[in-house]
Homo-oligomer: A and B are copies of this chain.
Amino acid sequence: MDILFLGTSAGAPTRQRNVSALALLPDQGSAWYLIDCGEATQHQLLNTPLSVHGLQAIFITHVHGDHCYGLPGLLASAAINGRKTPLQIIAPAGIQAWLEATHAMSESFLPFELQFIAVEEMKSWQDHTVTVQATMLSHRVPSFAYRFTENHTEAVLDTARLQAEGVPAGPLWGRLKKGEDILHEGKTLSSADYLHYPYPLRGIIVGGDNDQPDLLREASAKAQVLVHEATYTIEIAEKVGERVQHSSAAAVASFAASAGVSNLVLTHFSARYQADSEKSPCISEIQAEAEAHYQGNLFLAEDFARYRLDKTGVLSKLA
């Protein structure tokens, strides 16, 4: 499972970072899921291999503009590009009314159906590949995290047993691996007896804006990766005050350490943080603060950075 960041800035875009959006890609095929859709997400997509035709569903964490103002344009361009298949949008209920008002205002008629699911009422969402569950967070407006868990892990064939039982390597092994039962020397061999599943079901949590990471403790027990906002360092967070209800790098890192999350990706950085280490405040201050509280596998997201969660549960950045 891959995570491809399309925007990593909080509130407003910068020249280096767009506002929030993230693509989640299963291991195979052209299917993908979009989590949040800040303005110009469709522009970011032009610089990736992702197509609106492969988009399975859109998940919106909360109604703030930097997480959803890109929806009307993305949908309009999907229409121009010939999308016909229905598209599910899982979002706070207000998003549906707003998109309908937007389409009425601009006299837009999409050639595909939008199917809205209000996240407030969603128990879980599922397709062939993943199951998604939402957790309510703490922010100025209702905000949610989405945990994506794969439905199946890779099956591994018990080749030692097959060799011991004299089943020759070749097409028979392939059929067993695919889940078919086979006939061998007059005996039926059941696929289930020769398959095992040594890998965990992988889980990735993508959080919305949130000032209480601890709300993700239960969800984190079943996930290898936490993607969470770390809008500021403690120093800036204290200057800004409580009203904005964001997390500091220290707060998220401490939580991830205590919850035993093995891979942590921070994102949604205040636009005041500079990429250039000569300038202050610099993004490296967020990194240093997080490292002081978390010894796991830590990343600070950048636009277009792509991370791969391998089948053993280790996350690494692709070159």
Residues of chain A at the chain B interface (Cβ within 8 Å): 11-15, 18-19, 39-40, 42-43, 46-47, 63-66, 68-70, 72-73, 76-77, 80-81, 94-95, 97-98, 101-102, 105-108, 140-141, 271
Within 8 Å by CB of A46, from B13, B69, B95, lies B13
Are A15 and B63 in touch, CB under 8 angstroms? no
Are B107 and A47 in touch, CB under 8 angstroms? no
Tell me, in angstroms, the Cα distance from A205 to B55 when the chains sit together: 41
15 contacting pairs across A/B (C-beta < 8 A): A12-B77, A13-B46, A15-B47, A39-B72, A40-B43, A43-B43, A64-B106, A64-B108, A65-B72, A66-B76, A94-B105, A98-B101, A98-B102, A101-B102, A102-B102
Taking CB atoms, residues of chain B closer than 8 Å to A42 are: 12-13, 39
In the complex, how many angstroms separate the beta carbon of A99 from the nearest chain B beta carbon?
9
In the complex, how many angstroms separate the beta carbon of A166 from the nearest chain B beta carbon?
58
Within 8 Å by CB of A105, from B18, B40, B46, B95, lies B95
Identical subunits present: 2
Besides the contacts A40-B43, A65-B108, what 12 more A-B pairs have beta carbons closer than 8 Å? A11-B76, A12-B81, A39-B40, A39-B43, A39-B70, A39-B72, A40-B40, A63-B105, A63-B106, A64-B107, A65-B72, A68-B106
The 10 A-B residue pairs whose C-beta atoms are closest, nearest first, are A40-B40, A39-B73, A98-B105, A12-B77, A65-B106, A101-B101, A94-B105, A12-B80, A69-B73, A63-B106
Are A18 and B43 in touch, CB under 8 angstroms? yes
Tell me, in angstroms, the Cα distance from A11 to B73 when the chains sit together: 9
Taking CB atoms, residues of chain B closer than 8 Å to A63 are: 105-107
Are B46 and A14 in touch, CB under 8 angstroms? yes
What residue in chain B is nearest A271 (Cβ atoms)?
B80
In the complex, how many angstroms separate the beta carbon of A304 from the nearest chain B beta carbon?
14
Within 8 Å by CB of A39, from B39, B95, B105, lies B39
Taking CB atoms, residues of chain B closer than 8 Å to A66 are: 73, 76
Are B107 and A97 in touch, CB under 8 angstroms? no
Within 8 Å by CB of A107, from B15, B77, B101, B140, lies B140
What residue in chain B is nearest A45 (Cβ atoms)?
B13
Taking CB atoms, residues of chain B closer than 8 Å to A80 are: 11-12, 271
